[in-house]
A and B are shown apart, each in its own frame.
Chain A
Amino acid sequence: MEWLESFWTTYSTLVLSIGTNVLLALSIYLTLSCGLLTVANAAFMGIGAYTAGLLTVHTGTPFLFALIFGSLLPGIVAMLIGGPTLRLSGVYLAMATLAFGEVARILILNTEDLTGGALGLNGIPQMTNVLHVAVAVTGALYVLLRLAASPIGRTLTAISQDETVTELMGSDVRAYKLFAFTLGAVLAGLAGALNAHFTFFISPNEYGFERAVEILAMGVLGGTGSPWGAVLGGVLVTLLPELLRGLGHYRPLINGLILILIILYSPKGIWDLTRFVRRPAKLPALN
């Protein structure tokens, strides 16, 4: 198992990054799948990271509980701001969530006593290992796959196509959107909490505009057709800068290019191309 060990020392960060990025991609997939363009997930990630990090550093909370609180708090915040915010359409929603992200970041910057402000939070115990991430990713993927195949998933897709008609057919559209928004926030928070416990140092700038763009790039690349698209998007966005030797530096640039190119040339994301190989469904017997 020697090669495994050496592989791990070189690539552990990368594998763990892929894991948390897939979680983030799934979180934005959820909101995109019902037609919501929100860029708040970076902020939710930050809230999760800080919550979990502060709990383990200052109060010695066990890791698992820190993860749980780190996931729940963003969810609660999402439910609070989601009510009024999700009434907004398209561009206004995007801008409101952009503003929310900035407000969160500024709040963290200005609460130095608690969060360390611009200097960041240091000394978070490195407790995340690949098992945690694997369980989180598998769990999230499983739930989202079941969701996509369920009536809830169907309704979310319908909302993304025609919100008014979906409501006129009896679905409480606001509740569905709030559900997607909140669950997305929980996933993003979980990703943040996990991430904080292997980078051991976090600062507000990690959860700002560049992170939001990266998450958006993953979501747009993966498309809204299926959670697998999000997985693909997360993996590609993480790996691409690494594969192109030495361009890890230019990660934001690559993400930006991804956004532009996908929007211009393949708006439904990369996964949509697999539509052509889906098996035709069978008709049930009459009566």
Chain B
Amino acid sequence: MKLSVNIEIGLTHLLSRKRQTLVASLGVTVGIAMYIFMNSLTLGVNRYSDNAIFKNAPHLRVYKEDEMSKPISGGSSSGSASGGLPVIVNPKISNTSLNLVNPLKLLKDIQSQKGITAAAAYVTANLFYTNGKSQVNGVASGVNILEANAMFNIESTMIDGDLRSLVNTPNGILLGVGIVNKLNIKLNDNINVISSVGVVKLMKVVGIFKTSFAITDKTKSYVSLATAQQLLGQGPNYVTDIYVNVATPALAPSFVPLLQNLTGYTVEDWMVANETAVAGSKIRGIMLGGISWAILLVAAFGIYNILNMTITQKLNDIAILKATGFSGRDVIRIFVLEALIMGFIGTCLGVALSLVPTTALAHIYIGADIGYFPIRFEPSIALKGAIIGMIVTFCAGYIPARRAAKVDPLAIFRR
């Protein structure tokens, strides 16, 4: 009952100034719409650029780091200064192999961890692709192609052949489209492959893929694990990397210590491996976030202004309300309520309005592997925008409302 009379007064104030109410609400509408649009844009573009990273790189990579040889000091652990003979050292990479010990068990252990969606063993081999006199250097990834496909969706980049034939064809190879063009070959042709350790193998092209990264298309190939091991002159237990994907890419860094403890090898997450890209998304986020907050603040000032004006016009009314038994808190409630109603109308319209630019942009065709502009209406962002909008309007209403609550009716009546 008590509340309802406050609501009634607030509503009457708003309805008797429909235009002002609408203008203030529209300010919020534009603010919220821009906020949602900008943030959807940031999210869409970031998601696209992250996905581009994840086409080639896993969320986490387990590998053996090169070890540097330790300087030898003449018999003393505290160095040459302590009296031993000074020994000139020349630090070099000291490990003889990048092999992960017992990779199959490691792979199983990793796969059984909670939160990990996929893991695949990789053997990376540097090599030359040759066809007659033409030679192209590149990198072959020896993988279980089905596991790798689960991680990187290689299938979606295939333009010729079938990646499954890699399973059935022992000397099969999937080549990037750039290599195919340079070597002037086609599907089912044979090429020679020479590895960095001098092993030569005759391979059959069973598939051709095209990512949008020229450098990948010009160098990369997929072969079976066994082939890669043979190319490096190693046995069937030789694995150089384990690629790991987790459910939420953003949480990948938190898996680093876990996997490091589990495997004992170096673990690198994608954010470390792609610092520039991560920094890029951060900058985009800050920039667009800043702009959207600025717009939101302008909208809040609109509400603040209109309420301030209303209160100045209604000093008499406030004095009367206080004289007839409304407390300062009631007065605050009335004006905050007015702000919240304007904010609510504005927010609802704003969420609706934000659909316009997001859907319009989502229908713009960019081409390449992007396809349509990577933006869509994000309900979570709309919700966040709505909550922020309401908080901001609350503040914009509360400040002038407090002023109204402090109005001394006597000062008004004595005039």
Q: Do A and B come from one complex?
A: no
Residues of chain A touching chain B, judged by Cβ–Cβ distance below 8 Å, are none
Q: What residues make up the interface of B, taking CB atoms closer than 8 Å to A?
A: none
